[in-house]
Structure 1
Amino acid sequence: MASRLPTNPSLDKLRDEARRLQRANHLPLHQAQFMVARQYGFTGWPALVHYLREAAALSVDPAAVGEDAHDPADRFCNWASLRYNESDAPPRWQSAADLLTADPTIVELSVWAAASAADPNALAGHLTKRPTLANAPGGPFGWAPLMYLCYSRVPLGRTAEDVTTAATLLLDAGADPNAGYLWCGLSTPFTLLTGAFGEGEQGPRRQPRHPQAATLAALLLDRGAHPADQQTLYNRMFRPDDSHLELLFARGLADAPPSPWERRLGEAMETREQMWQRQIHWAAEHGFTRRLELLARNGIDTSGVDVIIPSFPDDPNARDDEDATPLHQAAWEGDLVLIQRLLDAGANPLLTDGRFGSTPLQWAEHAYQTEAADLLRAHTPDGSGVPGV
């Protein structure tokens, strides 16, 4: 099963919901509680309460973390980190780099800042003084240091050796390779692997992979990270690249036993069957035939799936279910070849979508697909890509 709780769920609010249901329908309280639990995907009220009590200690809402009150080290960690909300963007990470350039001693102020910067020398200094810092929660999000390292996107030009040396220092000092948190209390953990592999709903420019993703993920897996990382599989399913799956399958994903997170959170998490069905259906709906073949080679049942092979649209201005055009989607993906083909076929770059009221150029700009934005800008009358401007 998988929970259907809202973000930042509260036991007090759900108790109130059960009482309102009880009064409105003249039910025994236990029946109202059962109905509320079932509504949110749990087998009963005790299972829901168990999850919420676990989540209370594990939940982090990055958007709730204020920025102005932080000391320089916490401000650096905050700006450097992938937060998985609308604030994720390259200018934010550049601000972290600028902050560190202006004051290089920031990494000496806290082990969490040293980890965010993937600075082996600074980390060694902190851990020599206090080895227990390797698992200590702290910084703006209350994470262990290795979490900041894995979620950092600050552009400091760190090499693979820098990153692996820094991560190894923390792991050798006892850092948990399965550390993670619950984003806004939702039941799929954001782990170290999630941070290393990166990507997500906001696209690869706003939520990129760690610059040393493959090397860092391999190190974590070698040191005990569990390969059945549900959030990684979700975040990386949107694009056709399968390098994450290849690495995870090589480390035993197909028949891995329950993870520490699955044991801790129980029925609140997706089952493995649900996890695989999500992957299969997305791959089939988007024509990712290589992914389906990879899943099948590793023993995942993909039989009976109807694969939709993408084709060039007959009408380049046709609307999808969200009232967006093919040019909007190509702009979001940064697919320069497809953008040019659509424009040549008569796609109108000034059409707005029905959800955001934005043009393809504005979609490209929001996704930080700068090359796509430049191409679209060159094909609009005044270069703005905004109707009537």
Structure 2
Amino acid sequence: MANRLPENPSLDHLKNEAKQLLRGVRAGEIRALATAGGWYPGELSDLRLAGAQLVVARKYGFTSWSQLRAHLTMVSEFARRPHEVGPSSDPATEFLRLACLTYGELALASSEAAARLLAARPEVAGASVWTMAAVGDAAGVARAVAADPASAQAYGGPFSWEPLLYLTYSRVAQADAVGTARILLRAGADPNAGYLPEGQGPPFTALTGALGGGELGQPPHPQDLELARVLLEAGADANDDRALYNRGLLGDDTGYLRLLLRFGLGRGDGGPWAARLGRVQDSPARMLENAVLAVALRGRARRMRCLLAHGAPADARGDGHPSFLDHTALELALLGGHAEVARLLADAGASGSLRGLDVAEAAIMRGERGQVEQLLSADHELAERLLTRRRDLIIKAAEYGRVPAVRLACALGFDVNARLPSTALHKAARAGDLPMVRALVELGADRSLRDFDYDATPLEWAQSAGQAEVVKFLGHPTE
């Protein structure tokens, strides 16, 4: 299986990798010989620099060094790191930085700061086509593109984005978001506009911005479905892997799924981003299978009904995906204790069964203490293997809202404060699951722990997701 390119891939870095590989092969290093032997078609004794470059290209999933070079040229055009952009002394630039989702900070806190800046400096809203797009000023954008048609696709602002991205990622109050989008699209804006975070796919597109979601529960656009429909009608490809993943982490709504399915999710060639990314991006059919697996993993019954009703494959299999491994959708539902989703899949003809540790994990997730005790009595090393190999079990139980499962896991010795990279309390806080938050705190969850990805506390996760009840509870340590 090909490896994933490193973040912000550099041609110079990959050239050095090829040179080091060649030196290693000539020195007889075991690791270099194994790598080259797996990808080089000839005798390693004949390996030269061009051959080492071919090995590096194939290692990362490309058929040739020239194909890898072309990919890196494309990456250099679309790579962005908006979450790393620092404060600016220019009010318009700082407004845009704060107003838009970057998936690297607390969204509500930033948008509130942007609103305060705008209230203090209202002239900022009309500073450029990018600020006018961010505030949904349809009339202002119409004047701007009439005066300069190229401005509809111009890169600018703190993130070097097109106006359509500032419109769809903005979370400040907008006067007429949909009208502004239509004006930009009529003027030539690309409905598939997007960027590659850290130079990696899948891309963050305008559609991704409209639908929101993600690890921190970034809020969708207030007119998410209407805005998404405008983009799709204008030619945005519905096979948007990032949008599917991010929105899939929020709730059990089906509006976005029905819309994407209507406009071609799971069908077609994947659009311009598939052409740019090639094998780096999943095929539309694979994206639809992954959507089924993700819904099974999280136990979203309404979404599963929606997918199956639209012909999605009930027999989807993980195929080595890091989240799904080689499980079928039915196995994922059973493993998570999602009885209703499992029934839906079984009725649709899905197959699968659990073995080994999976049987014990499923029993814990269902909160079936009696069955767990029977399994433990039959295998005295079972508890130790579970604690070692399924460290994230308590985090998943919290994410799925299974209070009995969390209590049972704690009784078995699972660490309520395990960070992988966030804690169970982070997951429950983001979901606004107050009963789970209370149970976790009662079981010893540490409110002060910061996750490893965003360096934020559970309280900050709750604040970012707008979970007022959880914010109130976690904001009072003695409660």
Q: Give the TM-score range, shorter chain.
A: 0.7 to 0.9
Q: Is the 8 A contact 1:200 1:235 kept in 2?
A: yes
Name the CA distance, whole Å, in 2 between partners of 1:108 and 1:328. 39
> 2:272 — aligned with what?
260
Residues 329, 103 of structure 1: CA spacing in aligned structure 2 closer, same or farther, 3 A cutoff? closer
| Structure-to-structure mapping, 1:11-30, within 5 angstroms | 11-26=11-26, 27-30=47-50
* TM-score, normalised by the number of residues in structure 1: 0.84
1:21-72 CA-partner distances (Å, limit 9, x unpaired)? 1112224223322332333333443332221111111111114434325x33
For the 8 Å contact 2:208–2:243, the answer to whether it is kept is yes
Deviates more, 1:321-330 or 1:15-24: 321-330
* TM-fit CA distance, 1:366: 6.7
CA contact (8 A) 2:266 2:287 kept: no
Structure 1 pair 105/238, CA: closer, same or farther in 2 (3 Å)?
A: same
**TM-superposition CA deviations, 1:223-248 (whole Å, max 9, x none):** 22111111101111223333211111
AA aligned opposite 1:181? Y
**Amino acid of the residue matched to residue 165 of structure 1?**
G
Query: Kindly tell me: are residues 348 and 196 of structure 1, through their superposed partners in 2, closer, same or farther at Cα, counting changes over 3 Å?
Result: same
Q: 1:121 to 1:291 in 2, by over 3 A?
A: same
TM-score after normalising by structure 2? 0.70
* Separation in 1, partners of 2:451, 2:425: 15
**How far, CA to CA, are the matches of 1:351 and 1:192 in structure 2?**
35
Q: Given the alignment of the two structures, is residue 33 of structure 1 paired with residue 53 of structure 2, yes or no?
A: yes
Count of matched residue pairs? 370
Q: Which residue of 2 aligns with 1:149?
A: 167
Q: 2:471 aligns with which of 365, 373, 380?
A: 373
SS in 2 for 1:84: coil
| Shift, 1:209, TM fit | 0.8
The yes-or-no answer on 1:330 pairing with 2:428 is yes
How big is the shift at 1:259? 0.6
What is the Cα deviation at residue 325 of structure 1? 6.5
Deviation at 1:316, TM superposition (A): 6.6
Q: Decide which of 151, 163, 169 is 1:133's aligned counterpart.
A: 151
Distance 2:451 2:203 in 1: 29
Quick one: which amino acid aligns to residue 37 of structure 1? A
Q: 1:238 to 1:52 in 2, by over 3 A?
A: same
Q: Identity of paired residues, percent?
A: 40
Shift of 1:101: 1.8
Partner of 1:92: 110
Are 1:79 and 2:177 counterparts?
no
Please, which of 222, 230, 234 is the counterpart of residue 233 of structure 2? 222
**Counterparts of 2:300 and 2:101 in 1: how far apart (Å)?**
27
Runs of 5+ unmatched residues, structure 1: 384-389
Change (3 A) 1:366 1:230: closer
Amino acid at match of 1:191: T
1:5, distance to aligned residue in structure 2 (A): 1.8
Structure (1 or 2) with the larger CA radius of gyration? 2
Take 1:351 and 1:24, find their aligned partners in 2: how far apart are those partners? 49
Return the alpha-carbon distance in structure 1 between the equivalents of residues 285 and 136 of structure 2. 37
Match of 1:182 among 187, 190, 196: 196
TM-superposed CA distance for 1:18, in Å, is 1.3
Larger relative contact order, structure 1 or 2 (CA cutoff 8 Å, min sep 6) = 1
Report if the CA contact (8 A) 1:107-1:122 is conserved: no
User: What amino acid sits opposite 2:126 in the alignment?
Assistant: E
In terms of fraction of residues, the more helix-rich structure is 2
Alpha-carbon separation, structure 2, partners of 1:223 and 1:361: 40
Residue 88 of structure 2, aligned match among 63, 68, 73? 68
Q: Distance in 1 between matches of 2:137 and 2:448?
A: 45
